[in-house]
């Protein structure tokens, strides 16, 4: 039945028996898309019964009429082919699997770490939720426009990098379908992706850091005050992620050296980070012991990131909340310390390679995103360059 999938479709069909044959043949006028013209075709119906053969010829005419009207979808073609096969006494063929079925098959086939599997499972869930009832439709029914809508949806809800990851998972699903012959193209390849390199976090100035420390000293209880003073100081002096600094204990301090194993790198067997601290900060961290007290910060919900935003407000710093889908993100948050450190290192003339060792960035491209050049500094530099003859 390959001719039907190649868009060779009939306009009119009749049946007849060849000499010395018990099998009926359908003769039909067909459009050959490859040649761009109408041709005559003869095809064995595979049926010995005249009524069955006539039924097959009628199905061919239906296919032709649908093709001429532009309503012959892949799903309808599959249905007509199966009806023809049933009339011919043959087994039906399976249509393309659904989007949800291919996504589940992909996850089952992957040999990956548990943490990566959980990440992909979350992305699979998001893809199926977005598709809704269509998730059970053949994967071939999804177009570039559909996948553009999917990317737009996740981009509203998540950061550029996370939305990019969701689209990449969808791409893996379509690649899986292509590898098994279920579809011939990957619609995610033509999706126009937003710029994931755009800076979404702002930096802290030295004055703002001082204001944060003053707010903590004024309003926090003694135990919580000591923990937050140490925590925000580590953020300012190391530029590392909140989740990694929360793991720091007195065992992490040896003299003035802080030793950390970033969580993301630990999952992949990555390097241990060793950074020298100011002596007073190393002594403060060692004396504190750990940051368990931060789980009992002012709003008592145990969410340190939200607590830090509250300290910004108390310090008179606008965290600049931005709505993204059904959640709110802040342009100034604890992660801004990471951007601040990278920018300060660059401004101080520290080499890119050495700066990445400090902040533990693998990629030059990613590290570059964290550099916020001051406009006034740019003006001065350009002014000097233009003044030279």
Q: Residue 43 falls within a domain, yes or no?
A: yes
Same domain as 343, residue 297: yes
pLDDT at 197: 42
The range of the structural domain enclosing residue 108 comes to 99-190
Q: Which of 378, 238, 57 is nearest to 247 (CA)?
A: 238
Q: Residue 352 falls within a domain, yes or no?
A: yes
Q: Which of 87, 114, 138 is the last residue of a domain?
A: 87
Spatial separation of the C-alpha atoms in residues 374 and 355, rounded to whole Å: 18
DSSP 307-342: HHHHHHHHTT----EEEETTEEEESSSTTHHHHHHH
Spatial separation of the C-alpha atoms in residues 301 and 298, rounded to whole Å: 8
User: What percentage of the chain reaches a pLDDT higher than 90?
Assistant: 22
pLDDT at 385 over 60: no
CB 341 within 8 A of CB 313: no
3-state secondary structure of 38: strand
Same domain as 255, residue 217: yes
User: What pLDDT band is residue 6 in, cutting at 50, 70 and 90?
Assistant: very low
Q: Residue 12 falls within a domain, yes or no?
A: yes
Q: Residue 173 falls within a domain, yes or no?
A: yes
Spatial separation of the C-alpha atoms in residues 203 and 341, rounded to whole Å: 9
pLDDT at 229 over 90: yes
pLDDT at 236 over 70: yes
Q: What residue spans of the chain are helical by DSSP H?
A: 2-5, 50-69, 74-87, 99-109, 114-131, 144-157, 160-179, 206-219, 222-238, 242-245, 263-267, 279-288, 304-314, 336-347, 352-359, 364-369, 375-387
Q: Residue 92 falls within a domain, yes or no?
A: no
pLDDT at 375 over 50: no
Read off the CATH number of the domain in which 154 is found.
Answer: 1.10.150.130
CB 248 within 8 A of CB 294: no
Burial 151-182 (b: 16+ CB within 10 A, else e): bebbbeebbeeebbbbbebbbbbbbbbeeeeb
Same domain as 82, residue 109: no
Q: Residue 274 falls within a domain, yes or no?
A: yes
Give me the number of domains the chain comprises.
Answer: 3
User: Tokens 């073609």 map to which residue?
Assistant: 77
CB 355 within 8 A of CB 345: yes
Same domain as 298, residue 218: yes
Same domain as 349, residue 238: yes
Q: Residue 376 falls within a domain, yes or no?
A: no
Same domain as 362, residue 215: yes
Spatial separation of the C-alpha atoms in residues 105 and 110, rounded to whole Å: 9
Helix (H) or strand (E) holding 253: strand 253-254
Q: Has this prediction a pTM greater than 0.75?
A: no
Q: Phi and psi dihedrals of 198, rounded to 5?
A: -65, 140
3-state secondary structure of 153: helix
pLDDT, one tens digit per residue, over 66-89 is 776 777 766 677 677 777 777 767
Contacts of 169 (CB under 8 A, 6+ apart): 120, 123, 124, 127
Q: How many residues does the chain have?
A: 389
Same domain as 258, residue 121: no
Residue 32 class from Cβ within 10 Å (0-12 exposed, 13-18 middle, 19+ buried)? middle
Q: Residue 197 falls within a domain, yes or no?
A: no
Q: What is the mean pLDDT of residues 325-337?
A: 80
Q: What is the mean pLDDT of residues 230-259?
A: 90
Same domain as 36, residue 152: no
Spatial separation of the C-alpha atoms in residues 284 and 275, rounded to whole Å: 15
Read off the CATH number of the domain in which 300 is found.
Answer: 1.10.443.10
Q: What is the mean pLDDT of residues 190-202?
A: 64
Same domain as 172, residue 103: yes
Q: Which of 370, 23, 8 is nearest to 197 (CA)?
A: 370
Same domain as 243, residue 322: yes
Helix (H) or strand (E) holding 9: strand 9-17
């Amino acid at each position: 039945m390959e001719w039907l999938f190649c868009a060779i479709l009939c306009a009119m069909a009749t049946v007849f028996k060849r000499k010395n044959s018990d099998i009926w043949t359908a003769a039909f006028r067909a459009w050959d898309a490859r040649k761009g013209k109408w041709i005559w075709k003869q095809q064995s119906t595979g049926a010995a019964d005249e009524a069955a053969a006539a039924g097959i010829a009628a199905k061919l005419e239906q296919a032709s009429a649908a093709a001429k009207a532009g309503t012959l979808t892949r799903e309808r073609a599959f249905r007509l082919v199966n009806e023809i096969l049933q009339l011919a006494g043959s087994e039906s063929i399976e249509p393309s699997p659904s989007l949800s079925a291919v996504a589940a098959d992909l996850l089952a086939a992957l040999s990956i770490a548990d943490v990566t599997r959980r990440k992909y499972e979350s992305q699979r869930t998001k893809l199926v939720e977005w598709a809704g009832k269509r998730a059970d439709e053949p994967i071939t029914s999804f177009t570039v426009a559909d996948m553009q809508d999917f990317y737009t949806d996740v981009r509203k809800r998540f950061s550029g990098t996370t939305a990019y990851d969701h689209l990449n998972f969808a791409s893996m699903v379509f690649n899986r379908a292509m590898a098994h012959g279920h579809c011939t193209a990957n619609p995610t390849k033509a999706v126009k992706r937003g710029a994931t390199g755009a800076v979404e976090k702002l930096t802290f100035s030295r004055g703002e850091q001082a204001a944060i420390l003053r707010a903590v000293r004024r309003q926090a209880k003694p135990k919580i005050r000591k923990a937050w003073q140490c925590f925000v100081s580590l953020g300012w002096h190391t530029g590392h992620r909140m989740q990694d600094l929360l793991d720091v204990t007195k065992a992490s301090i040896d003299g003035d050296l802080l030793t950390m194993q970033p969580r993301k790198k630990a999952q992949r067997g990555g390097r241990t980070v060793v950074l020298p601290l100011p002596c007073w900060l190393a002594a403060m961290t060692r004396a504190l012991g750990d940051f368990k007290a931060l789980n009992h910060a002012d709003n008592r919900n145990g969410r340190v990131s939200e607590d830090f935003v509250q300290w910004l407000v108390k310090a008179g710093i606008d965290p600049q909340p931005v709505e993204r889908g059904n959640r709110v993100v802040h342009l100034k948050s604890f992660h801004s310390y990471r951007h601040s450190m990278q920018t300060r290192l660059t401004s101080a003339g520290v080499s890119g390679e050495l700066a990445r060792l400090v902040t533990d960035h693998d990629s030059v491209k990613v590290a570059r995103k964290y550099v916020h050049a001051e406009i006034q500094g740019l003006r001065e530099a350009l002014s000097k360059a233009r003044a030279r003859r």
